[in-house]
Structure 1
């Protein structure tokens, strides 16, 4: 099985990332409505190419992870937050999510962060297992924080030291 190549996103990745975002949208992990068709810009003011690492398999973009500051506060500048992770359906099980997560941890360290955090929906068992296997621990739970697809869902806060 090929090893995913991880790199920093570029402006040229925008269309492929927007398509991936639309294709992977699911109430398993998304609290927002599906991306609008046919095209909603992927990159935004607070999440441009430099906040994204992308994964390629055989030269094709198959995943991304968004890494940013947890808040805009100077007193919180030592923390990075994973603000999104997506892997194409056909690339699941190939180690893409794990490779992206490890690359984000390395990038957070390179940026001088001391902690990394994330939020994951309580019913997203595959993601929670991945995060736990990479050293993230549950640091809090907001019970029934979201109502998705007719059910109340917990918002689980996870983090780890770097």
Structure 2
């Protein structure tokens, strides 16, 4: 059964937080400190997400993918946070599906819908950041037409440097 993609609502926040936390714990095992991953809390994430959602910046949007009435994934996107991207470029801030839904088409449906909305908004390009060691995600983005542009960064997670690389897809 294909995933149905729709705009996220405030009522979806609990499910989205569960997917985000479980997604991090699955995808980032071995890529960032396990103690950090183990400490992630769904209820805390949901509370922070509700606060953000109530006053999110203009243009910031999110989509959810559903199967049989159950949310199986989400994607957050909006104007890029990267100053060196073209005027009007967008950024995928996060895209996660339930680990059991990997390779079922839910992620592809979310990405396709996200790119369609970015294109409709007039974005010339879309960028995203991915952990350098997250090979599964990197393959997914490459199949979706994204290419690394050579830009990298490192951020600190509990005193451990975590490297990431930027991918970009032109929409023109």
What's the TM-score bracket when you normalise by the shorter of the two chains?
Answer: 0.7 to 0.9
- Matched residues, number: 159
1:24–1:89 contact (8 Å) kept in structure 2: yes
1:32-51 maps to which residues of 2 (within 5 A)? 33-34=36-37, 35-40=40-45, 41=47, 42-43=49-50, 44=52, 45-46=55-56, 51=61
Structure 1, unpaired ranges of 5+: none
Are 2:85 and 1:78 aligned?
A: no
Structure 2, unpaired ranges of 5+: none
- Cα distance in 2 for partners of 1:152, 1:18 equals 25
- Cα distance in 1 for partners of 2:13, 2:139 equals 29
2:130–2:165 contact (8 Å) kept in structure 1: yes
What TM-score do the two structures reach when normalised by structure 2?
0.78
> 1:6 corresponds to which residue?
5
- Cα distance in 1 for partners of 2:139, 2:42 equals 32
- Cα distance in 1 for partners of 2:17, 2:157 equals 22
- Cα deviation for residue 98 of structure 1 reads 1.2
Encode CA deviations 1:13-44: one digit per residue, 9 max, x unaligned.
11211222222223628979554353332241
Match of 1:66, SS? Answer: strand
2:86–2:124 contact (8 Å) kept in structure 1: no
Query: Between Structure 1 and Structure 2, which shows a larger proportion of helix residues?
Result: 2
> 1:138 corresponds to which residue?
148
Encode CA deviations 1:35-76: one digit per residue, 9 max, x unaligned.
43533322413379x610100011100100011111397x95
Return the match for 1:103 from 113, 118, 133: 113
Q: 1:38 to 1:10 in 2, by over 3 A?
A: closer
